[in-house]
Amino acid sequence: MNGDRIFLWLAQVFYATSCVVTLRRLRAAGAGPELQRANYAAMACGFAFHTVFLYLRGHALGRCPLTNLFETQAFITWAAVLFFLLIGPSYRVSFLGAFTAPLVLVICLAALLSPVDVAGSAPPNHSPWIEFHAAIAVLACGAFALAFVTGGMYLFQERQLKTRRLTSSFLLLPSIEQLDVIHFRLLIMGFGMLTVGMAGGIVSYHIVGHWTIPKIIWASSVWTLYGAVVAARGLWALRGRKVAVASMASFTVMLVGFWGVNLLQR
Amino acid sequence: MNLIVIGLNHRSAPVEVRERLAFAKTALAEAHTRLLGANPVHEVVILSTCNRVEIYALADNIRDASCAVRQFLHDHHGLTERVDSHLYEHRDDSCIRHLLEVACGIDSMVLGETEIFGQVKDAYSLAQDAGTTGVVLNRVFQKVFSAAKHVRSTTAIARGSTSVGTVAVDLAEKIFGKLPKCTVMVIGTGEMSAATARALQSRGAGAILVCSRAQERGEALAVQLQGRAISYDQWPNEFPGVDIVISSTAAPHPIVTREKLGPLMKLRGRRPLFLIDIAVPRDVERSCEELENVYLYDIDDLQQIAEENRAAREREIANCQTLIDQHVRRLAEWLENNRAAVEDRYRQRVTGSPVADPAHPQIS
């Protein structure tokens, strides 16, 4: 089943191309719209190959390709690119791709280069509930990944404004207000999906009747963390900088915890 | 058959000369037809802005045309003394290059400004309406427009603002995004603060409040800016609803202190505050910048950014020239290849011989 990995590698070529286009855009300093289109096209091509990989893997497994750490990371990054392709043009967030591509590239390359693509232990009683719960939780992670990206952009742009040291990217990046709003929307989307995914997990536990303690601890801490961030931003009017830091920290905790849980299970 | 431009700009002539040679908008169409009718030129475009007057022409004999255009300038404006020492002249390739540099804003007083592009476009369409352009100037101007767009979008020649007012607008847009929802408060009635408020207004800023110790002047400025005047003691009350503050009072001590601002910021929720302090001595205590969501810029900060942007534009000139070279070469080649055909066409027009002669070369 490893022949399909070539497609994920191909996707990385396009994500890397997108990174190069971004560097050129900064260097040329012309803010050429054609470079922005080139960036978007590279991401779309990468996404296409990424999709082919997930399709082939899912087809071979006969189920949603979330059976091991490798597949899960491929799925999360796929979801992140999906959100980028949807949000980037509709909200006119320039330079979102410039920050998304490196993150996706790093996570995918880490997955491709580490020995985590081993046949996972499929649960004994297979249920569509498990797949639903896993898939929607992974989509939530994709939204959180993009929230991480917009949070990083916010911090970068805010720092320039606060310190009055403007780099050549200053005029290319969106306003902090726009970044703050999109960041919050992504958080709400991610949190909503995560909640649904957790509910699906509870249902599938009742059907399948088995669970792993570390995973439950991990999932509930991630849910609590993001719940707190959403509440702080939405209800207590926490300021943009702190929300961005909290969301980025939550994503990091989630990713590290995820690796930990999966390694523990092995 | 040659292209020629004769003109003057802010570098070649002082304003006393430029103002005498400027064409009144209402007289431009007539000037086009007069110049074409009585002189040895085939095509004409006159560009007249506050910083330059230039006449682009196509002629058989370049010397005759040069004399005729110079004479026309003197006659049209009724000049008694010669201004030839202020006039420059470019021919063929160098004429095309000059037009392209003008359209890109490289020849402008504010390097890379974009207003000139629209002015060149207007001048061309006026000449077109007056019927004084032909196959050559049509081609040259249209190609120059697309070339100038190309140069501006692929280089940083027009990037970043170069004046205090527009730098402030750029910053405001990077904080708030769109400006219509923003309320601006002007404290003090200095010329610079009015200009900055106007710059914000021109990009769609919302309500404007003017607050001044001298109530009459405050009210006058409020009328000018179509805003609302408030009394000086009232500014802290209005503060929670304000997004951008432009301060330029003559007060010897800071009027916005950290002590005053801290509690006011709490009333604003998570909305950012942009403080533009253009007063000397400064109106806003520097330590206000330590407050969260406060973005403080004083006159030196804004001037420094404007200066950096100007320097960055200057560094882009070499890149622009490389692109301009390519575009000029292409246009010059076209002109060279079609010179015979164009000459033929204009000769026919003069002699009145039939056009449909297969022996005549075609203009590609």
B177 vs A33: CB contact, 8 Å cut-off? no
pTM over 0.90: no
Answer whether A30 sits within 8 Å of B159, measured CB to CB: yes
Closest CB to B176: pick one of A28, A164, A177: A177
Tracing tokens 């806003």 back to the chain, one arrives at B284
Cα A222 to chain centroid distance, Å, stands at: 14
First to last CA, chain A: 20
Q: A62-78, pLDDT tens digit by residue?
A: 777 777 888 888 999 99
A-chain residues within 8 Å CB-CB of B308? 166
Look at residue B361 and tell me whether its pLDDT is greater than 70: no
Would you state the pLDDT for residue A200?
87
* Helix (H), strand (E), coil (C) string for chain B: CEEEEEEEECCCCCHHHHHHHCCCHHHHHHHHHHHHHHCCEEEEEEEECCCEEEEEEEECCHHHHHHHHHHHHHHHCCCCCCCHHHCEEEEHHHHHHHHHHHHHCCCCCCCCCCHHHHHHHHHHHHHHHHCCCCHHHHHHHHHHHHHHHHHHHHCCCCCCCCCHHHHHHHHHHHHHCCCCCCCEEEECCCHHHHHHHHHHHHCCCCCEEEEECCHHHHHHHHHHCCCEEEEHHHHHHHHHHCCEEEECCCCCCCCECHHHHHHHHHCCCCCCEEEEECCCCCCECHHHHHCCCEEEEEHHHHHHHHHHHHHHHHHCHHHHHHHHHHHHHHHHHHHHHHHHHHHHHHHHHHHCCCCCCCCCCCCC
Q: What pLDDT is stored for residue B153 in this prediction?
A: 83
And the tokens for B122?
Answer: 């207007």
Mean pLDDT, residues A149-164 taken together: 94
Note whether A177 contacts B175, CB cutoff 8 Å.
yes
Point out which residues pair with B209 in neighbouring strands: B185, B228
Q: How far apart are CA B226 and CA A117, in angstroms?
A: 67
Pairwise pLDDT comparison (A85 vs A240), residue with the higher score: A85
pLDDT at A85 over 70: yes
Write out the two tokens for A12. Answer: 């990385």
- Is there a contact between B175 and A238 if contact means CB atoms under 8 Å apart? no
Q: Measured between CB atoms, which of A162, A173, A241 is closest to B295?
A: A162
Confidence (pLDDT) at A186: 92
Q: What is the pLDDT of residue A168?
A: 79
Residue type at position A184: F
Residues A200 and A132 sit within 8 Å (Cβ to Cβ):
yes
Q: Mean pLDDT lowest for which of A67-71, A234-238, B234-238, B246-250?
A: A234-238
Cα gap B31→B42, rounded to integer Å? 14
- State how far the Cα of B95 lies from the Cα of B87, in Å rounded to an integer: 14
Average pLDDT of B121-138?
95
**Higher pLDDT pick, A38 / B357:** A38
Task: Select which of B50, B182, B288, B320 is catalytic.
Answer: B50
Q: Which of A30, A166, A171 sits opposite B153 (nearest CB)?
A: A30
* Amino acid found at B191: E
The pLDDT of B212-222, averaged and rounded, is 90
C-beta of residue B291 within 8 angstroms of C-beta of residue B262: yes
Mutate to test the interface with A, among B169, B174, B310 (most CBs of A within 10 A): B174
Contacts of A91 in chain B (CB under 8 A): none
Q: Quick check: is B50 catalytic?
A: yes
